[in-house]
Chain A
Amino acid sequence: MLRTATADESDLKDLTTLAVQGDPGAIEELIGEVRPMVVRYCRARLGRISGQYHIADDVAQEVCIAVLSALPRYRDMGRPFASFVFGIAAHKIADALRSAVRAAVPTEDLPDGPDDRPGPEETVVRYIEAQRARDLLTRLPDHQRELVLLRVVAGLSAEETGNVLGMSAGAVRVAQHRALARLRTMAREESIA
């Protein structure tokens, strides 16, 4: 199990090397690996607009495009590739928050088949709780909020998160503990209120 994480990292490193050299298959696979993390991170940071994640997904797409464009210039400086990706993501999200444009919501035609998704009540409850989580996260200090999002939502390891934020893995774990404790306190205070 220990080897799994290390093996994953070394696989990604090899994939990155091939992608930097221009191998199309490696590029596709690399983007496929990072994109879900980027999408979740952007969605967690930007939230829903008019009930949809379309702006967050657009920003995630921009991040992937920027990563793709910057691949030829990427140099392995001893940091995980995820640090490079989330460094770009942070800038794109900051740009999106600055512009804060409320665009129209793109929609598809309504599907004609059965809907297997959770029911409306469950969806609403989850949506409300997710929004509460975002509200609480905004009340955290910036570095703690980023840390929680990278660790929980994007699924980065402590080392990768530390590389993105410029911290050691141990410092990440200490900070995440403090962040969770703070979230817990705020959530309980809100519940009491």
Chain B
Amino acid sequence: MRRTDAIIEALAGRRDAGSASRSSTVPEPGAVPPGASGVSGVSEIGRLKAGDAEAASQEGEEADPAVRLLRALVADVDEQASERAADPSGDALPGTLSPGPGPGPGSGSRRRGPRTIVALGVVGAVLASTGVAAAGGGLIHGSASPPSAAGAGKAQKTAPEGEATAAAVRERLPEQSSAPSAQSAPSGPAGPSTPVRRRAEPAKEPGTRPGHEEIERLKRRLERRLPPESRPRVPGGQSRHGVSPKSAGPGDDDVRRRLEELRKRAQNRPGKYRHP
């Protein structure tokens, strides 16, 4: 048991040279177990000095597989601890990132995948909103809302969708402006009539629905800008703004005055949008 204690003390004490362990290389005063005969504690301790313990452990290691394995274990757990202790950068404590090459993705600062995806999603959404806004003259809404992290993949899709929407708006705008609107609502503000118009529109692909709404919105604004003569006429002779071109009578001057007013209003509107 004394020898075992010496071996274990040597295994534990060997690290004192390269680590901050407090282990002593000399057995404690109570090292001699009770009942030991013939050997005093002082002489035993005197024999088992650090160098003797070292020699004893080395000798034991050659013959003792358990000691050899324990020494390997100690060396293995000490491997990176001693490297850290020798690190001049000041981070001498083990427990930080391993310097050795390792497979797989890293954590903390090395894990950039999800952040990269989120960043790309946000950037894509911003660019999409900027592109669509530029294409639509600032008239398209709803594309600038930032996507959530969970929808980062969808955000990347909104960029091409936004561009397609802008292109569709540009293409459809001249077509829609000349076609008579058979589904136009009776006169009134655009707000309440908007939901009616939306419901009347045929269902299209989900990706084009926002574009279709944008088209309708642009169409209404364009019609407001156009002079009263070029506005599409609805059946019944009523224009969207409730002005009947067939109204005659003593109010001809009134009608003309009203038309002039409308014309001036329409002429002022493009200026309003050009110079917000």
Chain A residues proximal to chain B, CB less than 8 Å: 1-2, 4-5, 8, 12, 32-33, 35-37, 39-40, 43-44, 50-54, 57-58, 60-61, 103-108, 110-111, 117, 126-127, 129-130, 132-134, 136, 148, 151-159, 169-170, 173-174, 176-177, 180-181, 183-184, 186-188, 191
Contact = CB atoms under 8 A, between A and B. Distances in A.
B126 to A, nearest CB: 31
Contacts of B8: 151-152, 176, 180
Given A57-B95, A152-B8, A130 B73 contact: yes
22 contacts: A1-B25, A12-B22, A33-B22, A36-B21, A36-B93, A51-B100, A51-B102, A53-B77, A54-B98, A107-B104, A107-B106, A108-B106, A110-B101, A126-B79, A136-B69, A152-B8, A158-B5, A173-B4, A173-B31, A176-B4, A183-B66, A184-B64
Interface in B77-125: 77-81, 83, 93-108, 110-111
A4 B100 CA distance: 37
A130 B76 contact: yes
Main secondary structure of the interface of A (DSSP, over half): helix
B105 A104 contact: yes
Given A40-B78, A129-B68, A153-B73, A108 B4 contact: no
Contacts of B20: 32-33, 35-36
Q: In which size bucket is the chain B interface?
A: 35 or more
A103 to B, nearest CB: 7
Contacts of A110: 101
Contacts of A52: 98, 100, 102
A107 B76 contact: no
A44 to B, nearest CB: 5
Contact of B30 (A39, A151, A158): A158
A130 B110 contact: no
B24 A108 contact: no
A51 B101 CA distance: 10
A118 to B, nearest CB: 8
Contacts of A40: 74, 77-78, 81
Contacts of A148: 70
Contacts of B107: 103-104, 106
A111 B101 CA distance: 9
Contacts of B103: 50, 105
Contact of B28 (A107, A134, A169): A169
